[in-house]
Structure 1
């Protein structure tokens, strides 16, 4: 007769919600299969079977939706809507992601103060004391049978790459220590001092290598260290990941890993089976799966009701006309938009140059869902094209830096077997990175994508046609993410900062349109991609 004592521990995980609570496409107002309200229904369903499950959020929670933008803009004294929902659902802990810092320290501290759960990050420390900046690097919880509970430790880690992107004022007084080295040290300490039956690391970061082959899947900058954490940080049972917006439920060596996409499109579920071995519980087996949100999942009515007023206000705000367009600024094809100068991108660059008083600008089309502007422009249109709270930075660059940046941009394209331009697969995996293709104003250039990488800039002059010298200096405005070298633009790192514009790009665009009332669609055709069938343009 088998008298072994066994139990199950269930962990549910959200990550990269980006402020999406209502299942709404804010560009069209149509319902979609996403958002915390629908995730809440899945959580409640799981809780009916296992009431004492662990519920964790892995970061990038408070930024990214029009509702979140509207809430921050109003400066309301009530809790952030995403925090209100997590409180309602009784989350056990959350980990700060890189976008938690976008609105500055006052907002972040308020968010954390309003949370009825701890925020965990062992590697973000006070620069003076070296102690964890948010109080608790890890928590210990009890799960399983009440008479003999399983001891579960949860360690929080955040990608240490944030200072490369974020406004330094938003990070003042904090030090971001290496995620891998911090994880190794804290896992060892937790194993020694707490002796948990189950150890979970919740890491707002992703995988830098293919999980099967181990081959590098991106440039090894340190932004994502999930693979190294699994291989080198001994003692981890479960690794929760995020940041890359991937859908992963895998086993990497002895570590069960999960990443539940973004925007509340899936809920991560890990089940750990344990049996009693002497005085401690031992793990028998583990499984991970993604509970997808689809049309069969109905939004939780309690969540919808608690935020119905804010949602209605957000929708009214989004529908306010702020100006009109003469001409055509629509983007029917993002791919074609990236092949030659386009009126919408020209407009974006001119807004940046106007705001920053700079002679040259570079900007990206931030999303494949960006559609430019129609005849009437509303706040819905603005936020649909400028979904990130990017601020602007003016760098002093030399001609050689500009050329190097254009070569980096040109790497976005490859030629397919038929000799037609296509997107470089490196920009599609492990996640889509179309926002790392920049388009410039204030110079003239041509990119020949039939040529070898690094030799594609075949024309680079000023607007009058004079070649740009390697040592010639210019003031160039770009978003703060790019100015910090984000997207592998290493040539920008450490370059002199001339000035910074602390207003996010969506607000700059909206104010420009309000001021001018009517904006003209047009472009000076200062750049193009060549080396392919000209009919593609």
Structure 2
């Protein structure tokens, strides 16, 4: 039922349903742990979507991007296609079976390259739109030759309060972070470019109106961000809401949920009602965890249908066992072959480990799950730079924890037990299809890099107990640990203070000087960002995924044993302690921690467990 009364025959209820950041989670199966995963994936979300559609016959189902990459099935399909075996993409097959009305692209759609993307989406039976992914840039956005149509106009029939049918034209525009040209530069440079989100919308919205759009929905694969527009904003949904003519926004990218009654309100953001600048907006989490629901009360006037009221919510997807619907069965059949092949692939053994590799405590020093990736990267880069001008420079290795709870919940951690290492474990240790790169940095650059990485830690007040250690607004992937040097983090100092927070930076026991030179093995994302932040030149770039490099390293190593890791330490702070949340399963690994004093405190919100770090 609509959340408002329909007192007049010229009024109608339109329900907009949205998913975002599915990241190829189709069936409720965790390929990393090789076990069922309740309440996640498109199949589970469709169960709730069907209930919501039955309640509101006038409805649309939309997706906001980041659907082609994000779990071992995506990597397996990409590897299979690279070998010349092409087939319909399982995600597109699932979305066809789900009955989407339209969708847009996210930044991760480009992770496997442009040719892969074009082939993957060619079988879509729904319109895909993207206004600021550009093949040839014109003088203005309207003159661009875009990768996909910038918008679509959906011709629909809706019933009013009296049961009479009317035609309506709904415009859907797609927008993504322009940073795709930084993050996937190696795959996209010379083939395409991107434009600013707000600039693009301002150009196309009047065109959509001129072509008869009565309601305009912006599928914005972007976080909320700041109110004032800035060039090339990554998170621009709030600024986009200020563009005249945008009626409804679907946001995403950050894997957060909006409306959020616990979020900070502002004059432009109402997290209770779910509005940005008084326009209805939703962020439906990630991996199929939530379904965005925007109910519009429309009124038919002289200028066509216009929204006069709205209700917004993000419905959690139930995790209970329910009978499969006909549509869900259709989705399951569409991907059954790929699911079976993916399972066979990820269960292949590639090596042995004599130690547990986990990310429950990856925010603490000397984590072995990060250490094994760092060692693999170093070995590859040292071999690649042999007989080059950089052969004699020290090779360091930057690695960040990708799976460390946070927005993914208390089960979103790497947990590889001792014993046989299968391909699914490799995928668990390195979940993205990033490729290997190496950059040349100075000692000053290195200090700045570590300082930026330390932003994940809050500033702590000396002598105060039980302050929160982590900045919950920052994803764990921001926390680069650079192996090969040692340093101390002074948490009494705020991030951004350089040598005030990052102290005693040493290589091989010797203090690092600003003019010293190093090679840092990293991934293509970080190399592109480093080129922007510190003008650090790339000295090695290869198309080989880091997961492949890790697999090769493990195969060559035989058995992975204990590692002598020496990375960072926290500056001692008398009478000071910090709290952090991790999985309850972390308690089994407390005895493996060295050089830190950590003790369990008790249960925390959302299924996490709280621990105390005494400094």
TM, length-normalised to structure 2: 0.79
* TM-fit CA distance, 1:301: 2.2
* TM-fit CA distance, 1:254: 3.3
* TM-fit CA distance, 1:434: 1.1
SS of residue in 2 equivalent to 1:201: strand
Note if 1:248 corresponds to 2:258: yes
Q: Which moved further from structure 2: 96-105 or 348-357?
A: 348-357
Instruction: Tell me the equivalent position of 2:200.
Output: 182
Deviation digits for residues 256-312 of structure 1 (CA, Å, limit 9, x no counterpart): 101111001111122211122235223221222223211246452222233223222
Whole-Å separation in 2 of the counterparts to 1:421 and 1:324? 40
Whole-Å separation in 2 of the counterparts to 1:30 and 1:131? 45
* TM-fit CA distance, 1:91: 1.7
| C-alpha contact (below 8 Å) 2:358/2:368 kept by paired residues | no
* TM-fit CA distance, 1:451: 3.5
Whole-Å separation in 1 of the counterparts to 2:222 and 2:8? 42
Change (3 A) 1:41 1:297: farther
| C-alpha contact (below 8 Å) 1:404/1:491 kept by paired residues | no
Instruction: Tell me the equivalent position of 2:236.
Output: 225
* TM-fit CA distance, 1:447: 2.1
The match for 1:106 among 110, 115, 119 is: 115
| C-alpha contact (below 8 Å) 1:276/1:282 kept by paired residues | yes
| C-alpha contact (below 8 Å) 1:14/1:58 kept by paired residues | yes
SS of residue in 1 equivalent to 2:244: coil
Deviation digits for residues 52-84 of structure 1 (CA, Å, limit 9, x no counterpart): 522211100010012222222222422111100
Whole-Å separation in 1 of the counterparts to 2:211 and 2:231? 33
* TM-fit CA distance, 1:318: 1.9
* TM-fit CA distance, 1:532: 4.1
Deviation digits for residues 404-444 of structure 1 (CA, Å, limit 9, x no counterpart): 1111222322336734674332xx12xx5111111112223
* TM-fit CA distance, 1:347: 1.7
SS of residue in 2 equivalent to 1:322: strand
* TM-fit CA distance, 1:228: 1.0
| C-alpha contact (below 8 Å) 1:342/1:523 kept by paired residues | no
Change (3 A) 1:448 1:421: farther
The match for 1:93 among 90, 96, 102 is: 102
Deviation digits for residues 372-431 of structure 1 (CA, Å, limit 9, x no counterpart): 552321112111221111112211111100011111222322336734674332xx12xx
Q: Which moved further from structure 2: 59-68 or 444-453?
A: 444-453
Note if 1:198 corresponds to 2:215: yes
Instruction: Tell me the equivalent position of 2:45.
Output: 39
Note if 1:446 corresponds to 2:478: no
Q: Which moved further from structure 2: 73-82 or 297-306?
A: 297-306
Instruction: Tell me the equivalent position of 2:168.
Output: 150
Whole-Å separation in 2 of the counterparts to 1:433 and 1:408? 13
SS of residue in 2 equivalent to 1:46: helix
Whole-Å separation in 2 of the counterparts to 1:322 and 1:482? 28
Whole-Å separation in 1 of the counterparts to 2:532 and 2:573? 28
TM, length-normalised to structure 1: 0.89
The match for 1:458 among 490, 499, 503 is: 503
| C-alpha contact (below 8 Å) 1:38/1:297 kept by paired residues | no
Q: Which moved further from structure 2: 19-28 or 128-137?
A: 128-137
Whole-Å separation in 1 of the counterparts to 2:369 and 2:352? 13
* TM-fit CA distance, 1:169: 2.5
Note if 1:6 corresponds to 2:11: yes
* TM-fit CA distance, 1:222: 1.3
Instruction: Tell me the equivalent position of 1:237.
Output: 247
Note the residue ranges of structure 1 that are not aligned, 5 or more in a row: none
Q: Which moved further from structure 2: 174-183 or 289-298?
A: 289-298
Whole-Å separation in 2 of the counterparts to 1:532 and 1:341? 20
| C-alpha contact (below 8 Å) 1:128/1:173 kept by paired residues | no
Note if 1:418 corresponds to 2:464: yes
Whole-Å separation in 2 of the counterparts to 1:51 and 1:70? 38
Equivalent residues in 2 for 1:48-447, closer than 5 Å: 48-51=54-57, 53-75=59-81, 76-127=85-136, 130-143=143-156, 144-145=158-159, 147-191=165-209, 193-209=210-226, 222-231=233-242, 233-249=243-259, 250-278=274-302, 280-296=304-320, 298=322, 300-326=328-354, 328-331=355-358, 333-334=360-361, 337-357=362-382, 359-368=395-404, 369-372=413-416, 374-414=418-458, 415=460, 418-419=464-465, 422-425=468-471, 428-429=472-473, 432-447=474-489
Q: Which moved further from structure 2: 308-317 or 8-17?
A: 308-317
Whole-Å separation in 1 of the counterparts to 2:232 and 2:454? 20
